[in-house]
Amino acid sequence: MSLQHRLIFLRHGETDYNAEGRLQGQKDIPLNGRGRDQAASAGRMVRDHFGTELDRLRFIASPLGRTRETMELARSAMGLEPSAYEMDPRLMELSFGRWEGLIWPEVKAMDPWAAKAREGNKWTFQPPGGESYAMLAERLRPWLETVSGDTLIVSHGGVARVLLTMIGGHSTAKAPLSDIHQGRVLLFEGQTARWL
């Protein structure tokens, strides 16, 4: 899929779950102090890179608290009204089902077979009660079709990995292994993706 417009991606800032290595999924965990700093830093990076184009961007966030707070802090750092953005539930993180809130050693102890199966094919593996990356791609596809101009989104690591396969030229084997940085800006343009 080739995108006709630029998509500016910000991952939400750090939460305590991120710092502890816990699977967050769709649990609504707030930003920590470092995450709030990362959100403001990403906003300044967008302001410095896109400058006068900010007024033309559409702004959309996942409805989870950590993405909304990141969007509002980033927009403030851009000199924009913090609350003037849309939300779309299709931009929520993939669900890890019953694994949410656990760290990987706990997952491996609780579900050793499933944890091993996930390592074999992260793209199609579905955690118990959760979603696979392939399922998330099906959720995102109709949303991507609504992108009709340059758009900035604040979303999640899993969403970025899926977008890397859909519009960033990455394979379904490579994308789930990609590091998605907090406090940085990922720009999708044409069929490429690059960190600013």
- Per-residue confidence (pLDDT) for residue 128, from 0 to 100: 96
- Go through 113-139 and write b for each residue having 16 or more CB atoms within 10 A of its CB, e for each that does not: ebbeebeeebbebbbeebbbbbebbeb
In a domain, 143, yes or no: yes
In a domain, 2, yes or no: no
- Per-residue confidence (pLDDT) for residue 4, from 0 to 100: 85
In a domain, 1, yes or no: no
Residues of the chain with pLDDT under 50: none
Query: pLDDT, tens digit, for every residue of 171-180?
Result: 999 999 999 9
- Per-residue confidence (pLDDT) for residue 1, from 0 to 100: 67
- Per-residue confidence (pLDDT) for residue 103, from 0 to 100: 98
- Per-residue confidence (pLDDT) for residue 162, from 0 to 100: 98
Which active-site residues does the annotation give?
Answer: 12, 93
- Per-residue confidence (pLDDT) for residue 32, from 0 to 100: 98
92: CATH: 3.40.50.1240
Burial of 81 (0-12, 13-18, 19+ CB in 10 A): exposed
- Per-residue confidence (pLDDT) for residue 191, from 0 to 100: 86
- Per-residue confidence (pLDDT) for residue 190, from 0 to 100: 86
In a domain, 15, yes or no: yes
- Per-residue confidence (pLDDT) for residue 107, from 0 to 100: 97
Split into its structural domains, the chain has a count of 1
Domain that holds residue 68: 7-195
Distance CA 193, CA 136 (A): 19
